[in-house]
Structure 1
Amino acid sequence: MNRLRDILLLFSVCCFFIACKPGVPGDVIQPDDMEEILIDLHVADGMALSNPAAADNIEYYRLLYRLGVLKKHDVTQAQFDSSMVYYARYPDRLHDIYEDVAERLSKKALALGASAADINRYGTLTSDADTTNVWLGERSIVLLPQPPYNTFSFTIVADSAYQKGDRMILNFDTDFIFQDGMQDGVAMLAVRFANDSVASSVVHFSGSQHRTLEVADSKRVGIKEVKGFFYMNDGGGVQNTTTLKLVSIYNVRLIRFHGNSKNMPENQDSKEPMNRPEERSDTSVAISLDEMHQMRLDER
């Protein structure tokens, strides 16, 4: 009897804490509605960028389309801004919302007419004799201005499947949803070889783009480790917490090509920018995020 009473007491306490968990206030745009608005804002930005008539005044058309999105959802600019003030205080909630948004970006792009080849370049690759997608993380990444959500790093330790002369190619697509401010993201791909030398490739990105970074074992010494990161530049530390600033990185692929791979793309025929690696000899055996960040500053 006492055991049953204790169980009921524990159940009541759990229900109490669940009921007391703070939710989103009623005067704030709810998460499901915010997700739909963010999807449409992404589409609106794409329309502004692709409209030939908007070439000379992108910001005007972007604002025009965004106002149309708010009108569609029966939301005023003031309501949206005040909701962003709330979500800016809880970046984890906004991050969760936009993770769902990021998963839908590829499908939305297809619905708007993008070719499957543009969206899923190397997307169907899993593994064959010479070509493998070795990306182990989520295919969609969301970055926000507030740490720790402004950086995503990855590390892949080479195994026996890697061969001398391998070539690593990092592919990804990006979308920025910004109300104002500088749009600037940084991606880095670095490879540590068997002799502890390091080759790296860094690229800045903004807007809606497909980007590619490449690092090759050109000296055929063997790959020991692959590292990299995605970083959202905060504009020199100046942040306006009342405006929407999101970066979506999706369709992430890290393709390993063996030196004799027939699937290896020819650089001269590639339509997207291919950033060349810079090789250096390091005495250290690891690349920290601080080192990567310093390399980003040095590049500027």
Structure 2
Amino acid sequence: MKRKKRIQWYSVILLAFGLTACQVKRPDTVIPDAKMENVLYDFHIAKAMGEEVPYSDSYKRVLYIESVYRKHGITQADFDTSMVWYARHPDALTKVYEKVNQRLKAERDGINHLIALRDNKPKESLPGDSIDVWIGRHIYHLTGTPLDNKLAFTLPSDTNFKDRDTLRWTVRFRFLSGTPDSLHAPLMAMQILYAKDTLNEMLKVKRSGTETISLFADTLGEIKEIRGFIYYPAQKSAQSILADRISLMRYHATDTLFNVDKESLKIDDKEIKKDMVPGKPVELKKQDEKKDSIRRPEMRPRPRLRQTTEK
């Protein structure tokens, strides 16, 4: 009986050693899975951006890739060594790339949605006098690096936009590691394209808090498109900001514009000259006298009071 139990224990120990031997031993120089996922995500975005750069600016492709290394605190040698190890262990690489592809697909779907809104306009904003028409995320983390220094949007108008709408873009900024100087302060800007002209406004964000840009026009006609961006210049030291609580409110005008006929305000010179005689003042017509007496009650004759005697 004891021999049988001893054999069972030996079997358990051998199985444990076997499982331990099957586990992949990762060197300390290899980037962990979670960090490698973030690195590869930014790496592929940087490569895609580099492919759009013209040949005369091809040096920027290298800068895009280097900005990824700086962002994650690694070197090109660290990245290359890790990729060699992952290539030798395809199971680990597959798991990492599955998550990277999911994130890239979600990003691509969001971009395609914005393009569809701009070109085909498959969706319309909600009707109403005061509606939030913001279509992007409501929180962004900006670090000032080339891949992570800008938030931009383009919003086409639809049938629920009116000619005299007010657009108010509101963002709350939170500086996470000190306030930048005025030269490196984030820029917030919005532009509205009308049928007749364009309105712009830009401001610098110098401290944490909520900033708002409002644009409105009475006589520029139909709204064609709304654009905006937040640009965070490169910083001397590592500083990051959060932009959250983002909204883009659209307000319909509640008053009415009266179009005055300018021709009706013009005075006929012939009518004036006809009543004018040299050396004689122009007399008011009877109808004008009547109106004047109504407007000036002090010029009316006062009624006389009757005196009565008591008997």
TM-score range, shorter chain: 0.3 to 0.5
Which is higher, the Rg of structure 1 or of structure 2? Answer: 2
Asked which structure has the greater RCO (Cα within 8 Å, sep 6+), the reply is: 1
What TM-score, normalized to structure 1? 0.43
Identify, as 1 or 2, the structure richer in helix: 2
Identify, as 1 or 2, the structure richer in strand: 1
What TM-score, normalized to structure 2? 0.42
